[in-house]
Amino acid sequence: GGKKKGPAQLRIYNLGNTSPVSVPDLVRILEQLLKVKAKKNVLRMPNNGDVPFTHVNVTLASMQLGYKPTT
């Protein structure tokens, strides 16, 4: 914790498209775009572990930045 001292100086925007993407697919996409091979350590997760898919809410980025995903 700690007490809030005022508004945050920076803002984080959640960017992505409106379709869920599996984590392995995301890693493959990043590898292709960055032209590097990821060092992966894939672990079996318990049922309450990491989610198999991610889905982003781009509302804030859309309103404040005009972000419009196309894929």
- pLDDT for 47: 66
- Could you give phi then psi for residue 12, rounded to 5 degrees? -105, 130
- pLDDT for 51: 66
Residue type, 48: N
Mean pLDDT of 15-44: 86
Domain residue limits, the chain: 1-19+57-71, 21-54
Mean pLDDT of 42-58: 70
Most distant CA pair in the chain, distance = 43
- pLDDT for 50: 60
**How far is residue 64's CA from residue 58's CA, in Å, rounded to a whole number?**
10
Confidence band, pLDDT 50/70/90 cuts, at residue 16: confident
